Structure formats: structure tokens, C-alpha cells
Amino acid sequence: MGFNFVAWPARLKEDLGAAFAWLFAGPCEFPHAFVKRLIGNPRLELDGDPNGTILEGLDLSYAYDNGRVVFQGVSVATHGDELVAIVGPSGIGKSTLLRILGGFIAPLTGEVRLLGKRVSRPIPEIALIHQSIVTFPWMTALDNVKLALKSRKIGGDEADEIAKKVLALVGLEGSEELYPKEMSGGMRQRVAIARALAAQPMVLLMDEPFSHLDELTAEELRQDIYSMIFNSDIPLRSAVLVSHNLYEVLTLADRIYVLNGCPARVVGEITVEMDRPRDPTSAKFSDYMHELRSYLTPVKREAA
């Protein structure tokens, strides 16, 4: 016997949507999402230059409870209308660094700043798209997106209008009333992107956003994502992408930070100077790929 999600009371579906959001986001985000769901985290009072440095991680370090230092002395930054990528070997702390930048995890040392203001908790100005495709089966595409508008205290017809506009932005106009079971994986990830953008963040963090999609669908989204997120209709100013896929990184990023070593540090920073759309068969693309790979060769563990 299956569950008839559609017939569930609206409030129950919303609460379960929030609960599953916490679950998929990971334990480190659970309590903060709980608070945000109930009362909404206040937005920061920001007065910095939106065309200058947007998000900064300054001298960041992180260690596990057993004392093992994952990375140390890591500094990264994003600028206006810029997509920055972070790459490195598996297990080096890329996703952890991303969550520190979002205020979901506290660093061992260092701090995060958004337009010069310290970030010590999750805030509406920074949104995270997780590698798991998080859409809630009892909600239509429209209702999935409207869930993000609760933190902005927007409801009724205004919420419908905003959600429809953002769904159109990500290529889902006409799909507002579809349920996740009626969508492809790529469509569901577009809904997740739309939900993040509906919250009107200044920075979008993306943790392996295409890793659960087949290659053809992932390639389609790679071609569209830059125009989706850097659009005059939304206030997003920069994005940070974590990925193992070097082709993906070179296709999308304006700058790339490379982590390596144990504990990890920033061992390279590459500014990608290629016009879009980028041609992976070009000599320049190959040169950047070679440079990236040279930074990712094994680095000796530091002596204790």
C-alpha cells in the first residue's frame, strides 16, 4: 500500500518538508535549519561594496574530534559576478570548507566574512545546494520552491508569483504543478536550484550539484547553470562550487582554488580566462587541465 502524499494536510506536508531538508542537509545543519524553519534567521545588515569582495574565508582551519587536522591556514574569496570552484583529492575537506563558508560549521581557527561582516551562523544571504537532490514528494514543484519563501515571510499570491518566476528562470515554466515522481532527475535538481534562488541569497554554495545525475543531464545543467544564477532578476553576487569533476570545474569556474596535502592547504589558485561557452577541445582548455592536474599530484604528509 503506497502513501497518498497529495491528500496529506498542507501544514503536515510543510513540516515534513522542513524535516527532510534537515535530514538531507546533514547533521551539522540540522539544528540551524530547525531554528530557521520556525522563526527565520535574520538577515545581516550589509553595507560593503557588492562589486568588490563578497565572501571571504580567512585563515580557516578545521579538525575532527579525534584531533586530526583536516586543513589549516586556508583563505579563499569570491568577487562580484564570479563563480569560484574548490577542488582537491577525496577526503581533503572540500565539503567541510563549504559548510564553514555557509556558517553551518564553526572553524577551529579563522573566520568567514560576507561584505566585511562576520558570519558565525547560517544566514539567508548564503544558500547551499547539497549533492543529494532534495525535493519533497508530497509537494509540487511550485510548493517546493515556496518553502524557501517562508524565511522571507512571504505567502499567498505573492509567493506564487515569485516561485513561478524562479521556476521559469531555471527552465521549468509550465511544470509548476508536477510532483517529483513526475520529473526527471535534472528537473528535480532545477527545482532545488530554484528553491535556493527564491530565498534571494547573495552567495550560492554548491556541493557536487550534478554528481547524482546521468552525464547527459549533468551536461545540460552545466550549460545552463551560469545563466541561471547570474541573472539580473535575482540579487546573487557570487557562487562557490565544490566538485571532483575537473572538466566541470573548467567549464564553469572563473577562478579555482586547489587544496592538497595533509593537513590540506591552498596549493594553487587559477584564474580561468576563457570565453563562454568554453570549448573542451581547445588547446587553452587542455593547458588549464594540465595545470590543474599538476597541483593535484600527491603531496607528502607533514611531519607531526
72 occurs within a structural domain = yes
Instruction: List strand residue ranges (DSSP E) for the chain, in order.
Output: 53-63, 69-79, 82-87, 109-114, 117-119, 126-129, 203-207, 238-242, 255-261, 264-271
301 occurs within a structural domain = no
C-alpha–C-alpha distance, residues 242 and 239, integer Å? 10
Quick one: pLDDT at residue 212? 83
What pairing do the DSSP bridges indicate for beta strands 126-129 and 255-261?
A: unpaired
Residue among 82, 75, 77, 72 nearest 56 (CA) = 77
252-269 residue pLDDT tens: 999 999 999 999 999 999
Quick one: pLDDT at residue 41? 53
Q: DSSP code of 104?
A: S
95 occurs within a structural domain = yes
User: Taking the model in full, what pTM does it have?
Assistant: 0.82
Per the structure, how many domains does the chain have?
Answer: 1
Query: What CATH number corresponds to the domain at position 113?
Result: 3.40.50.300
Q: Determine the straight-line distance between the first and last CA of the chain, rounded to whole angstroms.
A: 58
Quick one: pLDDT at residue 132? 78
Quick one: pLDDT at residue 93? 95
The number of beta carbons lying within 10 Å of the beta carbon of residue 28 is 14
15 occurs within a structural domain = yes
304 occurs within a structural domain = no
C-alpha–C-alpha distance, residues 57 and 112, integer Å? 4
Task: Looking at 76-184, list the stretches that DSSP marks H as alpha helix, in order from N- to C-terminal side.
Answer: 94-101, 141-146, 156-169
C-alpha–C-alpha distance, residues 239 and 253, integer Å? 9
Quick one: pLDDT at residue 29? 36
Question: Which CA distances in Å does 66 have to 29, 158, 238?
Answer: 21, 49, 34
303 occurs within a structural domain = no
CA 254 to chain centre: 16
99-131 residue pLDDT tens: 999 999 999 999 999 999 999 999 989 999 988
Q: Are 74 and 56 in contact (CB under 8 A)?
A: no
Query: For the chain, which ranges sit under pLDDT 70?
Result: 1-51, 299-304
Quick one: pLDDT at residue 11? 46
Q: Cell numbers of 120, please?
A: 558565525
SS3 state of residue 267? strand
116 occurs within a structural domain = yes
Quick one: pLDDT at residue 159? 94
Residue among 54, 65, 46 nearest 106 (CA) = 65
198 occurs within a structural domain = yes
SS3 state of residue 192? helix
The crossing angle, in degrees rounded to 10, of helices 30-38 and 10-25 is: 150
Quick one: pLDDT at residue 291? 97
Residue 205's DSSP bridge partners are 128, 240
* Domain around 88: 5-295
Quick one: pLDDT at residue 27? 32
Q: Are 149 and 155 in contact (CB under 8 A)?
A: yes
- Letter for the amino acid at 270? I
